[in-house]
Amino acid sequence: MSDSPTMHMHAESMLDDPSTRLLNDKPKNKWRIAVSTIFCIRALLSLLNQITKTNFITSSSPVSSNSTFNVDQIALTRLVKNKDLAQLQELGGVEGVALHLKSDKEHGIHCHDAEDIPDRIKEFGSNVYIKDPTVLILLGCAALSLGFGINEHGFKEGCTNGGTILLAVIQIISVSAVSDYRQSRPLVRNNIQIEAWRGGRRQKIYVYETVVGDVILLNIGDRVPADGLLVQGHSLQVDESSMTGTDSPVEISHHQNPFLFSGTKITHGYGRMLVTSVGMNTTWGEMMSQMRQDTSERTPMQERLEKLNSLIGKVALLLAFLLLVVLLVRYFTGNTKDENGNKEFNGSNTEVDDIISAVIGIVAAAISIVVVAIPEGLSLALILAVAYSKKIMMADKAMDLKLSACETMGSVTTICTDKTGTLTMNQMEVTQFWLGKYSLEEEAYSSEISPSVLHLIQEGVALNTTGSVHKQSLDSKVEISGSPTEKAIISWGVFKLQMDMEKVMKSCSILHVEAFDSQNMRSGVSMKRNADNTVHVHWKGAAEIILEMCSSYYNPSGLVIDMGDSEKMSFEEIIQGMAASRLRCIAFAHKEVPADQNHRTMLKEDGLTLVGLVGLKDPCCPEAKKAVEDCQYAGVMVKMITGDNIFTAKAIATECGILKSSDDIFSGAVINGVEFQSYTDLERMLKLDNICVMARSSAADKLLMVRCLKQKGHVVAVTGHGATDAPALEEADIGLSMGIQGTEVAKESSDIIITDDNFASVVSVLACGRCVYHNTQKLVQFQLTSNVAGLLINFAVAASSRQVPFTIVRSIWLNMIMDTLLALALTKDKPTKELMEKPPVGRTEPFITNVMCRNLLAQALYQTTVLLILQFRGEAMFGVNDKVNGTLIFNTFVFCQMFNEFNARKLVKKDIFRNIHTDKLFMGIIAVAVILQIVTVEFLSKFEDIERLNYRLWGVCLGIAAISWPIGWAVKCIPVPQKPIFHYLKMKMH
């Protein structure tokens, strides 16, 4: 909720108005009391929020007098925020800050003392944000309003007024709760794991567990979890656009700019940082404490429903205006009579008070047209439907981030998926090793590989990596950390090549690192050996790319052999053979370079010597093929976009069912990213639907594929986990990132996080999305039926100069309680196989279908006809007075909606009672609605200005309502055209 001085002044003026004073006992003023109370609450909330925010900010930077640390939080916050190099030098540099924080820049905090981390949290705070007490305050205010009402006017009258206020406040609570929930989502994503050095070992912790003094590892695609200082890094670049608005990446260096801010993204390189501030003490936290999130975003479904509400509202306003004009003309021309048959307006003989009273009654009748027409409960019911589907998605290993995601997923026509970690298990293992033209088994490593070549391989593995090896003691197990590819290669080096990684790293000094990126598909390092001061360059990456950089190769004996065209072709065949066996092929290359060259800015990229080839096997997920088949069965195309070469991609795609065994690289179903880029715009559009696999694709290729699919009318979902997937995830209608291997940048750019990195979970999300869409259609059909019927009845009755059956109070009761409660029963259906048998709705399918129009109009016309008969003939038919007849109409209308609720369970099928006994929630909601209506009619007659009904009239209400069941069955026997009715209307207009 947003508050302003204008709103507060308006609230004060309303309170000063005698018509809204609480001392007024007239029941007709109870809704004015509710409105004024709500304004008071909003004003109080604004004040309390400001006090809470101020108190929190002023106390968020503790400086303890008995601190066990040698630096306070305020100094640390200013150090990073101001990028103060002078102050950093005064503290002894990064090493000095680490000492002040009782940490170690290499091994992190010690963690041997059980009180260490709690002490740090007590001294410097935790990496979390505050919570908003809005809902609790509102509930308290509502209770106070009810209590004061009873005390002021007695129990009976106090409950009436206080209860009305409570209902109005509940509506505000609902909006506030949803708003606060959506607002807090960007701030509570603390269940993401990061890697930190603690106690001398590399371990995973959650973001919210980060404390001041931690040493955090940063890799490309990560989001910096807290403010801090760079300890060590290579080619580290950071996107600070979230802080400064500048799109250009910022270079982070140990000497010139070691300052890192929470919330920024690592776009290149890798490194380690020392945490100096967490949570609200960070620069990002300070910004968030002074900002209010924009909650005006609307989902696609909400926009469609709002357009629907707008259309209904315009029609209602038009009818209300016409009714107002007609009634005013009839009144002032003397054509309306009172109960005694006398003219209500008799020129100058009519008193002014009577004229004002009559005009107010006419205006109220016109307003009732608008109130009864607009389906107030649609938005809330939609939110409840999505929330319920989110619960199902969480159980199916998917975590929804954006409200629109679940809705839009039901319309998806194409899924562009990556390979590694989505279709495959991302559990890599080296299964083949080629040295020269020879494939070597593990047993032959020590006997057939020259020691000099073996040492080069060990250097290439140990130095050109972002992974690490840790061993607590001689008897403890070796712990290997890093990406799945890095872990597989390091494990191979440690266990198969007998590599001592620590020894190799200490034997040399690193001069420059070229970090891996998906564009170049390689990484490199230049290093100087301590023993002889010679400088060497090591490259590692996609085999065919590294092969192009080589002009020679090592054989097992250590001899360097020139690589001619025939030899290069032989290596290409080896690479293709491994790829056809579903192996990822990685190559190592080396070159010794002159020591006098500047290796800190550029690495040698040609004339290299090929050291060896390794093949990594990544088994497909057992559920992948079934999941792909389920998508295809549901009419959704699945396209695989991967950075692997075309042969590996084809093999994996065939195994997963994306490709048929008859498809080959010449059929157009499998292409390279470069080939896709080379097409003209027309060629892309013509070949787009035929493409199933795009290999050796870059981030630009993936983004182009998504844009082309959207341009052709597809609703596109994209899966990804790397930082380079972020543009495609952002561009797609639905971005799905991986929760385990996904980088923070990818998660930030996505709409849904798949927590188990399994493509089968994508199918579950698809089913949930279709379920939400289908449930919302049932909900709209149900609510529009009651609103159309109510609109027609009120208009017809008011136009005949009769008192409208659905007054403003009754209409609000229907919208706030009956519609919302009954609609809730239609939003809880779970995904079914039947929904997956239907084709996706895409972008062009109308939301209100011909079937919905047929069902809606039949029930609305029946209700309108019956209730108009009761309105004009009910008193004579049942021998009752006008007030009882009005109650009969109101009660019959409500029960018509309850019985029509069963019809709305099935849009097409006639068996509306199938499995009704197992749907306990549905039956429970119907039971609650029945009880509420009985209580309203029998015990709250003053509240609704109605009369109690006898058993005979209750039977009449139920009998009329029950006829909607056979009508619903008969109507569903009427066929409807396949093309939407709006299509025919457009044709006629043209």
- Cα–Cα distances (Å) from 69 to 213, 348, 943, in that order, read 11, 89, 65
Query: Which range scores top for mean pLDDT: 193-197, 201-205, 488-492?
Result: 488-492
50-89 pLDDT per residue, tens: 444 333 333 333 444 456 787 888 888 888 888 888 888 8
Q: What are phi and psi of 108, to 5 degrees?
A: 75, -160
What contacts 24+ positions apart, CB below 8 Å, involve 245-250? none
| CA gap 125, 109 in Å, rounded | 16
Q: How confident is the model at residue 375 (pLDDT cuts 50, 70, 90)?
A: low
Q: Which of 74-78, 398-402, 499-503 has the lowest mean pLDDT?
A: 398-402
Cα–chain center distance at 405: 6
| CA gap 375, 302 in Å, rounded | 13
Q: How confident is the model at residue 294 (pLDDT cuts 50, 70, 90)?
A: very low
Examine the pLDDT at 622 and tell me if it is beyond 70.
yes
- Residue extents of the structural domains in the chain: 73-128+190-281, 134-184, 300-389+766-984, 398-425+621-757, 429-617
Amino acid at residue number 239: D
The dotted CATH code for 429-617 is 3.40.1110.10
Predicted confidence at residue 589, as pLDDT, reads 96
Predicted confidence at residue 231, as pLDDT, reads 92
766-784 pLDDT per residue, tens: 888 888 888 888 888 888 8
CATH class of 300-389+766-984: mainly alpha
Q: Which of 360-364, 643-647, 705-709, 783-787 has the lowest mean pLDDT?
A: 360-364
Examine the pLDDT at 404 and tell me if it is beyond 80.
no
Which residue carries 């301590």 as its tokens? Answer: 530
Examine the pLDDT at 946 and tell me if it is beyond 70.
yes
- Supply the DSSP string of 459-504, one letter for each residue: HHHHHS-S-EEE-SSTTSPPEEES-HHHHHHHHIIIIIS---HHHH
Predicted confidence at residue 29, as pLDDT, reads 43
Mean per-residue pLDDT, 17-24: 37
Which strand (E) or helix (H) includes residue 162? helix 155-184
CATH class of 398-425+621-757: alpha beta
Examine the pLDDT at 945 and tell me if it is beyond 70.
no
418 is catalytic: yes
What are the b/e assignments for 232-252, b being 16+ CB within 10 Å? ebbbbbbbbeebeeeeebbeb
CATH number for 73-128+190-281 (one of 2.70.150.10, 3.40.1010.10, 3.40.50.1220, 2.60.40.10): it is 2.70.150.10
Predicted confidence at residue 828, as pLDDT, reads 76
End-to-end CA distance of the chain: 45
| CA gap 260, 683 in Å, rounded | 46
Q: Please classify residue 602 by burial: count the beta carbons closer than 10 Å to its beta carbon, then call 0-12 exposed, 13-18 middle and 19+ buried.
A: exposed
Predicted confidence at residue 296, as pLDDT, reads 42
DSSP 840: P
Examine the pLDDT at 47 and tell me if it is beyond 80.
no
Predicted confidence at residue 250, as pLDDT, reads 84
- Residues in CB range of 800: below 8 A, 6 or more apart: 872
Residue 631 corresponds to which tokens in the numbers above?
């998508």
| CA gap 556, 610 in Å, rounded | 12
Predicted confidence at residue 274, as pLDDT, reads 93
CB 307 within 8 A of CB 848: no
Ramachandran class of 644: left when φ > 0, alpha when ψ lies in -120 to 50, beta otherwise: beta
* Residue 448, SS3 per DSSP: helix
| CA gap 984, 990 in Å, rounded | 10
CB 886 within 8 A of CB 944: no
Examine the pLDDT at 44 and tell me if it is beyond 50.
no
Q: Which of 363-372, 566-575, 882-891, 914-923 has the lowest mean pLDDT?
A: 363-372
* Residue 238, SS3 per DSSP: strand
Amino acid at residue number 91: L
Examine the pLDDT at 456 and tell me if it is beyond 80.
yes
CB 280 within 8 A of CB 60: yes
Examine the pLDDT at 166 and tell me if it is beyond 60.
no
Number of neighbours of residue 337 by Cβ within 10 angstroms: 12
Predicted confidence at residue 333, as pLDDT, reads 80
Predicted confidence at residue 969, as pLDDT, reads 94
Number of H helices, E strands in the chain: 38, 26
* Percent of residues, the chain, with pLDDT higher than 70: 74
Examine the pLDDT at 956 and tell me if it is beyond 80.
yes
Examine the pLDDT at 329 and tell me if it is beyond 70.
yes
120 or 982, higher pLDDT: 120
| CA gap 472, 478 in Å, rounded | 8
Predicted confidence at residue 136, as pLDDT, reads 45
Examine the pLDDT at 964 and tell me if it is beyond 50.
yes
Q: Which of 296-300, 305-309, 403-407, 943-947 has the lowest mean pLDDT?
A: 296-300
CB 485 within 8 A of CB 429: no
Reference 903, options 939, 951, 858, 937; nearest CA is 858
* Residue 138, SS3 per DSSP: helix
Predicted confidence at residue 771, as pLDDT, reads 86
| CA gap 905, 823 in Å, rounded | 11
Mean per-residue pLDDT, 403-411: 76
Q: What is the mean pLDDT of the chain?
A: 78
| CA gap 819, 932 in Å, rounded | 13
824-837 pLDDT per residue, tens: 788 777 788 888 88
Examine the pLDDT at 846 and tell me if it is beyond 90.
no
| CA gap 782, 793 in Å, rounded | 17
Q: Which of 605-614, 660-669, 876-885 has the lowest mean pLDDT?
A: 660-669
Number of neighbours of residue 361 by Cβ within 10 angstroms: 15
- Supply the DSSP string of 257-283, one letter for each residue: B-EE-TT-EEEEEEEEEEEEE-GGGSH
696-735 pLDDT per residue, tens: 888 889 999 999 999 998 999 999 887 778 889 989 989 9
Predicted confidence at residue 38, as pLDDT, reads 44
Predicted confidence at residue 387, as pLDDT, reads 67
Amino acid at residue number 675: E
What are the b/e assignments for 134-150, b being 16+ CB within 10 Å? beebbeebbeebbebbb
- Residues in CB range of 698: below 8 A, 6 or more apart: 518, 519, 643, 673, 724
Mean per-residue pLDDT, 255-276: 88
Predicted confidence at residue 940, as pLDDT, reads 73
Examine the pLDDT at 965 and tell me if it is beyond 90.
yes
Axis-axis angle for helices 155-184, 30-58 (nearest 10)? 40
Q: Which of 175-189, 651-665, 891-905, 966-980 has the lowest mean pLDDT?
A: 175-189
Which position among 104, 400, 418, 751 bears the catalytic label?
Answer: 418
| CA gap 830, 834 in Å, rounded | 11
Mean per-residue pLDDT, 962-974: 93
Mean per-residue pLDDT, 673-700: 91
Predicted confidence at residue 952, as pLDDT, reads 93
Residue 811 corresponds to which tokens in the numbers above?
């209409």
CB 294 within 8 A of CB 402: no
User: Mind spelling out the 3-state secondary structure of 330-374?
Assistant: HHHCCCCECCCCCECCCHHHCCHHHHHHHHHHHHHHHHHHHHHHC
Reference 717, options 657, 759, 686; nearest CA is 759
CB 610 within 8 A of CB 555: no
Q: What are phi and psi of 871, to 5 degrees?
A: -65, -45
Q: How many residues does the chain have?
A: 990
Examine the pLDDT at 132 and tell me if it is beyond 90.
no
pTM, whole model, 2 decimals?
A: 0.68
Examine the pLDDT at 793 and tell me if it is beyond 90.
no
Mean per-residue pLDDT, 754-777: 86
Q: What are phi and psi of 242, to 5 degrees?
A: -65, -20
Side-chain half-sphere CA neighbours of 19 within 13 A = 7
Q: Which of 431-440, 743-752, 895-904 has the lowest mean pLDDT?
A: 743-752
Examine the pLDDT at 935 and tell me if it is beyond 80.
yes
Examine the pLDDT at 177 and tell me if it is beyond 60.
no
67 or 33, higher pLDDT: 67
Compute the radius of gyration of the chain from its Cα atoms.
36
CB 461 within 8 A of CB 482: no
Q: Please classify residue 668 by burial: count the beta carbons closer than 10 Å to its beta carbon, then call 0-12 exposed, 13-18 middle and 19+ buried.
A: middle
Examine the pLDDT at 7 and tell me if it is beyond 90.
no
Predicted confidence at residue 147, as pLDDT, reads 58
- Supply the DSSP string of 78-122, one letter for each residue: HHHHTT-HHHHHHTTHHHHHHHHTT-BTTTBB---STTHHHHHHH
Number of neighbours of residue 181 by Cβ within 10 angstroms: 16
Mean per-residue pLDDT, 544-549: 94
- Residues in CB range of 927: below 8 A, 6 or more apart: none
Side-chain half-sphere CA neighbours of 701 within 13 A = 22
Cα–chain center distance at 240: 23
Where helices occur in 828-919 by DSSP H, the ranges are 833-836, 850-878, 882-903
306 or 411, higher pLDDT: 411
| CA gap 640, 617 in Å, rounded | 18
